[in-house]
Amino acid sequence: MKSLLILGAGGFGQMIQETARLIGYAKVVFLDDAVKGEDVIGKCCDYQAFLGEYDTAVAALGDNGMRLYWTEKLMEAGYKVPAIIHPSAVVSPSAEIGNGSFIMQRAVVNTHTVIEHGVLVNSGAVVDHDSHVAKGAHIGLGSVVKANCNIDVKRKVEAGEVVFSTRRKIDGVTNRNLEDALYAFGFGNQCSYVKPFGQGHINETYAVYMPTDAGDEFAYILQRVNNNVFKDPAGVMENIFGVTEYLRNVIRDEGGDPDRETLSCIKTKAGCTYFEDSEGQPWRCYHYIPNSVCYQLVEEPEQFYQSGNSFGHFLKQLGNYPASSLKETIPDFHNTVKRFANFQRAVKRDIKNRAITCRPEVKFALEREADCGVLVKQQEEGKLPLRVTHNDTKLNNILFDADTGKGLCIIDLDTIMPGLAANDFGDSIRFGAATAEEDERNLDLMHFDISLYEMYVKGYLEGTDGVLTPEEIESLPWGARLMTLECGMRFLTDYLEGDTYFKTAYPEHNLVRARTQFRLVDEMEQQFEKMQEIVRQYC
């Protein structure tokens, strides 16, 4: 016969007696210093005398300090001190309930919550997931302890009170918006630290490290998106989720690994594709792809071949994706005619009085107005089809497998939109077939490397594998020439307008970038026939 000795025969003790009988204790008696009755068999100080007759006991005392004191005395004496859980309570199998704690009628203790010993969770109270209630605490009638809370020793949460999580300090967090984003994506209570990551011009990016048995691990990439550039963050993220989820199925059908060969986006805890901070700036999150590397500049010719193959294959993989369903998140992004018009307007307005500092560069761009319409005209005439294009095909937007050196995953999908194959091809060439970085001050170091161009052509056409039309193939050299010109005009426009688009490190940064692009355009023009011959050779 199961028997229970209860210290405390007051109202709370009577509640525990009823509950004990409901869960199978046939004989339930009390020790109490004041209350008398036929089931009160002694005073609390007599507890050791009854250990032989009653090996199981609890302390049902309403005062937190007294309940904790007597719970620990019973444990020290050698009693079994069980948790008493009312049959109507809901307790997660993963929750831990300590000795001598009481979970009363219709109380809820959720997943991975820890209740230490001598705790009272009163009727109708809720202790949500991943919370920790220290010994001797009292969670009052109908109160709510929200997720990830810590309740101190012997604290009383008043009836009906709502307790919100107190955020922990996270190393590397220097502002509230970053902290809010970490919590929005569910990392705030676990992550070890964060630190800046990458070398992008536009967005603010962080590496998020999580604890593992082997130590801290780079697990996620958290990014604050510049909504001065991307004015439709919902559309950007709708495009990214749509394309990456589609690619997972394509990659799986090809026998690849979708967790490594495309980005894996994460939604917020509220199920949103992005989080908006207190300043209205959007944040998004991806899984980090381990054992991968990213190159800022071509170090070996094979890397540029792999880059071409990767972007070509990317275009082929998305060949059946409904391009019309994509949001045009930056209208006319690669409409070189309109980019030229924007440049002309910036020169005319000259709002920062900078035009006098860049007269040769302004003249260079103005002399190429007719070139700007070559691809746009072919598109308007229906000679060049619209495809799902990346629209920012720099080498550093590819992750390479660290072991094999092969292109692994296309990243930075902010500008994925309908576009021309020539534009994607050309943007890669203007970045990767250059002998210096795009902000190199010494122009003597900046040249167009036609051997690298040839490596890319070979890889790109192998990757597209017959998908491109003859007209598209013929347009590729023009894509290289015009995307480089367009990028130079964009840098120069931003310089004239006060550096509102691209991140800059010093006042002339965008002008330096424009000069490098125009140097490349000049050398491409000199070798244009050779560029056309190379494309025809590999098609």
pLDDT in tens, 242-280: 999 999 999 999 999 999 999 999 999 889 999 999 899
pLDDT of residue 229: 72
Percent residues over pLDDT 90 in the chain: 84
pLDDT of residue 301: 85
Summary mean pLDDT of the chain: 94
Say how far apart CA 340 and CA 490 lie, in whole Å. 9
Average pLDDT over residues 1-9: 93
Classify residue 532 as exposed, middle or buried by CB count within 10 Å of its CB (0-12, 13-18, 19+): middle
pLDDT of residue 265: 94
At 254, list the tokens: 């090809």
pLDDT in tens, 186-241: 998 889 999 998 776 678 899 999 999 899 999 999 999 887 778 888 999 999 99
Q: CA quadruple 503, 505, 507, 510: dihedral positive or negative?
A: negative
What phi-psi label fits residue 283: left (phi over 0), alpha (psi between -120 and 50 degrees) or beta?
Answer: beta
pLDDT of residue 69: 97
pLDDT of residue 201: 61
State the pairing for strand pair 398-401/292-293.
antiparallel
pLDDT of 293 over the 80 cut: yes
Residues 6+ apart with CB under 8 A from 142: 123, 124, 125, 159, 160
pLDDT of 54 over the 70 cut: yes
Say how far apart CA 317 and CA 516 lie, in whole Å. 33
pLDDT of residue 520: 98
Which domains, ranges and CATH numbers included, belong to the chain? 3-82 (3.40.50.20), 84-166 (2.160.10.10), 176-266 (no CATH), 293-538 (3.90.1200.10)
pLDDT of 451 over the 70 cut: yes
pLDDT of residue 296: 80
pLDDT of residue 189: 84
pLDDT in tens, 338-362: 999 999 999 999 999 999 999 999 9
Q: How confident is the model at residue 17 (pLDDT cuts 50, 70, 90)?
A: very high
pLDDT of residue 227: 79
At 315, list the tokens: 């275009």
At 188, list the tokens: 């705030």
